[in-house]
Amino acid sequence: YFFVNKIETFSLVKFLFDLLRLMFLISSKKVTNPPKWYTIMSGKPVETSIKNKLSQQLSPKYLDVINESPHHNVPAGSETHFKVVVVTDQFENKPLLQRHRMVNTILKEELENGVHALSIVAKTPQQWEESDKNVAPSPNCRGGFGK
């Protein structure tokens, strides 16, 4: 009994260590397509879905998905307002409006199901390299509904 219990304890410790390692890798953006159970457990299903879809369909050189919901008049933990910074070769020779349409098409499901606002920074790798790589913060929420 003692030996079996030691093995079970070791297996549990290994599982927890592997789980923490995976969570660290995902949070440090070294894993771009986390398992579905992590998406659900992380409490960030919309943010994770946005990252996954843009990563898979645009193969970006740089991608940042920022949940700006805490800066708006929405309940804590909401995923309703986002800013995405996407740098990809697929934007070459495309006007800004077409780039935005590409992103909006990819995120159609999210935009129809709860994402209220999406700010898009869409650049080619050359434009990104020539920039200071800083994205201006979004303006403060003015309360909505004309307030």
Q: CATH no. for residue 49?
A: 3.30.300.90
Q: Cα 25 vs. chain centroid, distance in angstroms? A: 14
Considering the domain architecture, whether residues 18 and 72 belong to the same structural domain is answered as: no
Could you tell me the pTM of the whole model? 0.69
**Domain span including residue 18:** 1-31
Q: From CA 71, how far away is CA 139, in angstroms rounded?
A: 9
Whose CA is closest to 80, among 107, 40, 117, 41? 117
Considering the domain architecture, whether residues 14 and 68 belong to the same structural domain is answered as: no
At 41, is the pLDDT very low, low, confident or very high (cuts 50, 70, 90)?
A: low
> What is residue 42's DSSP assignment?
H
The number of distinct structural domains making up the chain is: 2
The predicted-structure confidence for 81-126, as pLDDT tens digits, reads as follows: 899 999 999 999 999 999 999 999 999 999 998 898 999 999 999 9
Supply the pLDDT for residue 123. 97
Considering the domain architecture, whether residues 26 and 47 belong to the same structural domain is answered as: no
> What is residue 137's DSSP assignment?
P
User: Which of 29-33, 58-62, 73-77 reaches the highest mean pLDDT?
Assistant: 58-62
Least confident of 21-25, 30-34, 98-102: 30-34
Considering the domain architecture, whether residues 9 and 68 belong to the same structural domain is answered as: no
At 129, is the pLDDT very low, low, confident or very high (cuts 50, 70, 90)?
A: very high
Residue 108 in tokens:
């159609």
Sheet holding 117-123, edge to edge: 62-67, 81-87, 117-123
The answer to whether position 138 is within a domain reads: no
